Structure 1
Amino acid sequence: MSRYVEVILPLALDRTYTYAIEDEQLQVGCRVEVSFGRHKRYTALVTKVHDEKPDYDIKSIENSIDTEPIVDVVHMQFWLWIAQYYMSTIGEVMKAALPSALLLENQTIMRLKNPDWRTQSQLDEKSYLLCEALEKTELSLGDIAQFLEVKNPIKIASKLIEQNLIERKDIVVDKYKVKFEEFVGLTDEKELTSYLEMVHRAPAQRSLLMSFFQLRRDADQIPVKSLLKVAGTSRTILKQLVKKNIFYIEEIEKSRILFDDRAAEFLFELTQDQRLAYDKILLAFAQKRNALFQAVSGSGKSVVYMQLAEHFLQRKKHVLILTPELSLSAELFSRFVKRFPNQCLLYNSKRSSSELVEIWKTINASDEAFIVIGTRSSVFLPFKNLGLVVVDEEHEQSYKQQDPSPRYHARDAALYLSKMLNASALLGTATPSFDVFWKANRKDETQNKFAKVSLDVSYSRRPRTGIYLVDLKSAYKKKQMQGVFSRELLSKVDEVLANGNQVLFFQNRKGYASFMQCNSCGHSPECPNCDVKLTFYQHRQALMCHYCGFEEGIKRSCSVCKSDQIDYKGIGVEQIQMQLKELYPDHTIERFDRSSSSRKDSGMKIIEAFNSNEIHMLVGTQVLSRGIDFLNVGLVAVINVDQLLFNQDYRAHEWAFQRLIQLAGRAGRSDSVEGNAMLYAQSFDTHHPVLQWAVDYNLNAITSSELNERIQFQYPPHVKIIRIQTKSKNFETNLRAAQYLVAAYKRIPGINVLGPQAPAVSRIRNWYLQNIIIKIHKERNLLDLRKQLKRMENSFNAIGTFQGVRLAYHIDHI
């Protein structure tokens, strides 16, 4: 009897597709290889196995990939929730959830079809060379492009296909490769005496054999690499012993997940304050409530996390700890692995695709409990027995995926996942997002989404970092500036360095300068693909676009008027580093930003070098504020705090306050800091209320002010917001499409519609953009509204005038 499966494809498709199967053992959650479209093959995921034959012709699957499911039904339901809530497709969720190496890659190869191709007299040189190469082997399009030194090999290949000389073949390539390691062992333990006699007159072979005995201890086999290294000999000598049948070599599958065999370190006792917070958190969990853990910087928040992790590990439950940033996940992992050396896994984009697959398979198949520390995609791991989810630094905007779809918020997704799996959830931060703060402080406790737990004293009971505002207007007026630094700030830097402490400099601008400008004609180089000026990078001697990656070398003269009067506008971290090196030539000054920490482990190496006092001053962007444990910082300097305040978003003041408090928390974290640690913030408006609230650490005052404004102007948490972005290659078409949609949306009851309005950067990668804001009243049914918006999108897509216009939905947008 024929059977059928419903499958998800890793494409922007919002439905499943039916295929016939012969494999009676195929289960829901297994991968299969399917043909879809004219030529393409994809990895699909089985969501249903049934006997209902469709009333149309269907294809059979090409291959079964798995014998056991890699995703269970519960996690598929989680995927479906992500797709529905964030208005994406289930195929896009699948592509985001699975490590890329689990999605077998479609590859087009070309092979020779007509062996008499040389009889064709009309072949040009490149076509002739290609046919000649295909006589020897099949080639992928990438191979052909490299071989012929052309950018578009399709044109050449298509012409030869039309002439019936070559043909295309689509294959699926498995990107995950099992890792093997060579081990060496004795062929026969009983022949030791005989073996020694055989190498008696071969000193190198005898030395290698003796090294084997020295290394192996109780093991039957040892790694070939280790043996050759200890013996100090070559592989040739080893081969000679294999040829004599003394040794055999065997390849054994090796896990890429390297657990540490050392004993647990970092054993600790919680302080009285930490123990009280820990007990309150467990009480909230016992009451089936999630918790907001509001802990001041330096209070030992991560130590409480460790104690909670141990509590759940003892009960054979997995623990997931989400972090907002790569360097923070690596730094937190380095601390946890000392306490739990055999139970910690790091899951982020710096791991290789094969490493991510092995972590996925370990979580899916193992009965052991693990702690997984990772960035937002960790929320998709197939936990079977999840006990605790911790969202560290829950206020960070980087938890929200912007592009591509699904545009999910990892914090909110983690809360939903914990509810589905009956796990506990903890949101940790020193500066809660105002939405979460509001939910945790409702007067009616029955409406409270979270139990609030506070930890208000630092581990060392040091006074909190003082925040001091430097008046730039006065400094410029009195000519008390050296570059971008006031003399008041530099005097404090001198004092801190003299005490043997370190300094952090914060400037939220990448590169050397925001843009270059000709002082003769005013021209500034712009990105050809985006509506932005190009950022100048000194270390690369290049102008770059942060939106599309366009890069060009700098020119010493203006491309318009040929003048050499070129000026740099806007101060970036490279320029601050350069000015500091001129002021402090005897000190080591490094940068900590996206470009300096882009390579694997490079961010962690910078942190380690800084904490070991190899670096005296560190200049960085917002990554500096994200919960990293700097041990010897006596001063944090914010070069221009006003840049944080003037942002178009309604949460600009919230984000500025959070950033300042978080930056202040990087200083004074240990007893090695002399005196009271300080944050100096340079500003042209030192009386700004947000800055004054930050000086006083007055979270209640700023939340009260901001939340009252949000009630007045209808912003979250009092309403829901959806931002719908239209984009098209044609400006006029995109604008008309956005205007059409606004008119249609305004007919929907229970919502307010704003726009359309072009964003600050109105063209990216040659796509013109328009934003539409929908504010949703509390009484409006959200699921019904999403369905209505999707129906309207389907009608919109059928309008010929708007062909080529794309819509992107940003739910709870940031």
Structure 2
Amino acid sequence: MDRCYADVLLPLPLEGTFTYLVPPAFLPTLAVGCRVLVPLGTSKQVTGVVMALHHQTPASTRVKALIDCLDVEPLLGQETLAFWTWIAEYYCCTLGEVMNAALPAGLKPAEMDADKLDGGKGRMVDRVYPAAAYVDKPEALLEALPQLVRAKKQTQLLKDFVACLSLAPSSLPDNEQGVEKRRLLEVSNATGAQLKNLVEKELLVVKAVPVDVSPDQLPVQPPATLNEAQTNALDSIKEQFTHHAVCLLHGYTASGKTELYIHLIKTCIDQGQQALMLVPEIALTTQLAERLKRVFGSDLGVYHSGLGTRERLDVWRKVGRQAGCKVVLGARSAVLLPYQHLGLVVVDEEHDASYKQQDPAPRYHARNAAMVLAGRHGAKVLLGTATPSLETYAHCKAGRYGLTELFFR
């Protein structure tokens, strides 16, 4: 049987891909778009993305083999990889730099220990439970304290575990029962080694369980009723979308542009598509998130560089699933998420210079990149502002973009 090789993209500022030998054990699940762990140099290991599989023997006689396949199904689709390639070519950077900017830290080696991944499906967290002999009556663990009389830290750790367990509601789902390992160690000011000793003494057990860091299911409200001027503007936008892929909403500040965004996004997700709303500053996402949550509830995902690794990782994965986030609100990095069926892109304050990434590479313009992304998905783009950029207004006057005006407060 011919040997199989994988061309792997690494998150480094280097041109091209690296070719590795695929061990036979990985062949059943390995596909383009999967993450793999590969050797680099004499001792370094790096997480890369498979860009191609082939049977063409490389010129080099010393081809290293993949160390591990990190995903049971492709993490990235062909459309996402093609979009990355366009960004690299248009903004004159390497594909590895685009990959490094696009993937959240939790999908790269430095965060592997902190955020364990269950075969590409989601994040895992360690939780501590009573050992089998104490499951039905955890308070009986206190009867084991005499055998720990010479281990004061372990004694305190066991007491704190029983105390934390007694405070937890009995109706919690399976993946939230027990006590989170990290929280227990913080409360007790203990170390992992002391917890390990209690596990070895068959008093406690530690299990990795899946956890969802998405917001709770929230009661949702219908979008607010539009006034006459807003209703006319909404009808105009829909009419413009029948002739143009991009429409500019030129309206005064406080004229109600956000309510129009919400109505258009609601129509989009009701049709089974995803919607992306870009804002120029991270601070604006906080103001808008509460407003959008009232209408979209847990269908809303917020994504920007100011969030923690876990929050970004959770939204990133959900966007890439068929039944994941339906609405994404974010700053410029949100354009790099792996959308599956994007139907609408809203760029608020489209004139703002903050949409242009400066350093490090890729130095992309999020508004322009979002329009290319929308074009690849056949999605519509709404640009909203009270002060249009010169180039956008010129496109409207030339008939390349649609134009709707809302000059009423």
**TM-score, structure 1 length as denominator?**
0.41
Q: Is the 8 A contact 2:223 2:262 kept in 1?
A: no
Question: Who is 2:39 aligned against?
Answer: 35
Q: Which of 174, 180, 190 is the equivalent residue of 2:125?
A: 180
Q: Which of 49, 59, 65 is the equivalent residue of 2:70?
A: 65
Residues 35, 438 of structure 1: alpha-carbon distance in 2 compared, 3 angstrom cutoff: same
> Any residues of structure 2 matched to 1:413-452 within 5 Å, and which?
413-442=369-398, 448-452=399-403
Q: Which of 306, 311, 323 is the equivalent residue of 1:367?
A: 323
Question: Who is 2:407 aligned against?
Answer: 456
Q: Which moved further from structure 2: 172-181 or 292-301?
A: 172-181
Question: Who is 1:589 aligned against?
Answer: none
Q: Which of 39, 46, 49 is the equivalent residue of 2:50?
A: 46
Residues 214, 225 of structure 1: alpha-carbon distance in 2 compared, 3 angstrom cutoff: closer
Residues 34, 18 of structure 1: alpha-carbon distance in 2 compared, 3 angstrom cutoff: same
Q: Which of 296, 300, 314 is the equivalent residue of 1:344?
A: 300
In the TM superposition, what is the alpha-carbon distance from 1:218 to its structure 2 partner?
9.0
Residues 217, 361 of structure 1: alpha-carbon distance in 2 compared, 3 angstrom cutoff: closer
Q: Work out the number of aligned pairs and report it.
A: 360
* Aligned mates of 1:266, 1:39 — CA distance in 2: 56
In the TM superposition, what is the alpha-carbon distance from 1:37 to its structure 2 partner?
3.3
* Aligned mates of 2:168, 2:365 — CA distance in 1: 55
Residues 74, 68 of structure 1: alpha-carbon distance in 2 compared, 3 angstrom cutoff: same
Amino acid at match of 2:78: V
* Aligned mates of 1:360, 1:268 — CA distance in 2: 29
Question: Who is 1:95 aligned against?
Answer: 100
* Aligned mates of 1:346, 1:307 — CA distance in 2: 19
Residues 48, 186 of structure 1: alpha-carbon distance in 2 compared, 3 angstrom cutoff: closer
In the TM superposition, what is the alpha-carbon distance from 1:422 to its structure 2 partner?
0.9
> Any residues of structure 2 matched to 1:320-359 within 5 Å, and which?
320-359=276-315
* Aligned mates of 1:325, 1:331 — CA distance in 2: 11
Residues 220, 98 of structure 1: alpha-carbon distance in 2 compared, 3 angstrom cutoff: closer
In the TM superposition, what is the alpha-carbon distance from 1:423 to its structure 2 partner?
1.0
Question: Who is 1:286 aligned against?
Answer: 242
Other structure's SS at 1:416 match: helix
Q: Which moved further from structure 2: 386-395 or 367-376?
A: 367-376
Question: CA offsets per residue over residues 373-419 of structure 1, 9 Å max, x none?
Answer: 11111111001111111111111101101111111100000000000
Q: Which runs of 5+ in 1 are unaligned?
A: 106-171, 200-204, 227-233, 235-242, 443-447, 459-814
In the TM superposition, what is the alpha-carbon distance from 1:262 to its structure 2 partner?
3.0
* Aligned mates of 1:182, 1:360 — CA distance in 2: 24
* Aligned mates of 2:47, 2:175 — CA distance in 1: 38
- How big is the alpha-carbon RMSD for the aligned residues of Structure 1 and Structure 2? 3.5
Question: CA offsets per residue over residues 560-595 of structure 1, 9 Å max, x none?
Answer: xxxxxxxxxxxxxxxxxxxxxxxxxxxxxxxxxxxx
* Aligned mates of 1:180, 1:87 — CA distance in 2: 39
Residues 18, 347 of structure 1: alpha-carbon distance in 2 compared, 3 angstrom cutoff: same
Residues 374, 281 of structure 1: alpha-carbon distance in 2 compared, 3 angstrom cutoff: same
In the TM superposition, what is the alpha-carbon distance from 1:223 to its structure 2 partner?
4.2
In the TM superposition, what is the alpha-carbon distance from 1:303 to its structure 2 partner?
1.1
In the TM superposition, what is the alpha-carbon distance from 1:187 to its structure 2 partner?
8.3
Question: CA offsets per residue over residues 324-377 of structure 1, 9 Å max, x none?
Answer: 111011211121112211111110111112321222111113424521111111
- Looking at CA atoms only, which structure, 1 or 2, has the larger radius of gyration? 1
Residues 332, 44 of structure 1: alpha-carbon distance in 2 compared, 3 angstrom cutoff: same
Q: Which of 78, 82, 106 is the equivalent residue of 2:83?
A: 78
* Aligned mates of 1:290, 1:183 — CA distance in 2: 53
Q: Which of 360, 381, 400 is the equivalent residue of 1:404?
A: 360
Amino acid at match of 2:309: S
Q: Is the 8 A contact 1:83 1:93 kept in 2?
A: yes
Question: Who is 2:154 aligned against?
Answer: none
Q: Is the 8 A contact 1:8 1:44 kept in 2?
A: yes
Q: Is the 8 A contact 1:259 1:343 kept in 2?
A: no
In the TM superposition, what is the alpha-carbon distance from 1:253 to its structure 2 partner?
3.0
Residues 298, 174 of structure 1: alpha-carbon distance in 2 compared, 3 angstrom cutoff: same
Amino acid at match of 1:68: E
Residues 11, 454 of structure 1: alpha-carbon distance in 2 compared, 3 angstrom cutoff: same
Q: Which of 260, 265, 273 is the equivalent residue of 1:304?
A: 260
* Aligned mates of 2:12, 2:59 — CA distance in 1: 24
Bigger relative contact order, structure 1 or 2 (CA pairs below 8 A, ≥6 apart): 2
Residues 56, 258 of structure 1: alpha-carbon distance in 2 compared, 3 angstrom cutoff: closer
Question: CA offsets per residue over residues 273-320 of structure 1, 9 Å max, x none?
Answer: 112212222222233521111121111111111111111111111111
Question: Who is 1:594 aligned against?
Answer: none
* Aligned mates of 1:426, 1:374 — CA distance in 2: 15
In the TM superposition, what is the alpha-carbon distance from 1:11 to its structure 2 partner?
1.5
**TM-score, structure 2 length as denominator?**
0.78
In the TM superposition, what is the alpha-carbon distance from 1:59 to its structure 2 partner?
2.0
In the TM superposition, what is the alpha-carbon distance from 1:213 to its structure 2 partner?
12
* Aligned mates of 1:84, 1:381 — CA distance in 2: 18
Residues 253, 303 of structure 1: alpha-carbon distance in 2 compared, 3 angstrom cutoff: farther
Other structure's SS at 1:80 match: helix
Task: Indicate the percent of aligned positions where both proteins have the same amino acid.
Answer: 32
Amino acid at match of 1:455: L
Amino acid at match of 2:46: Y
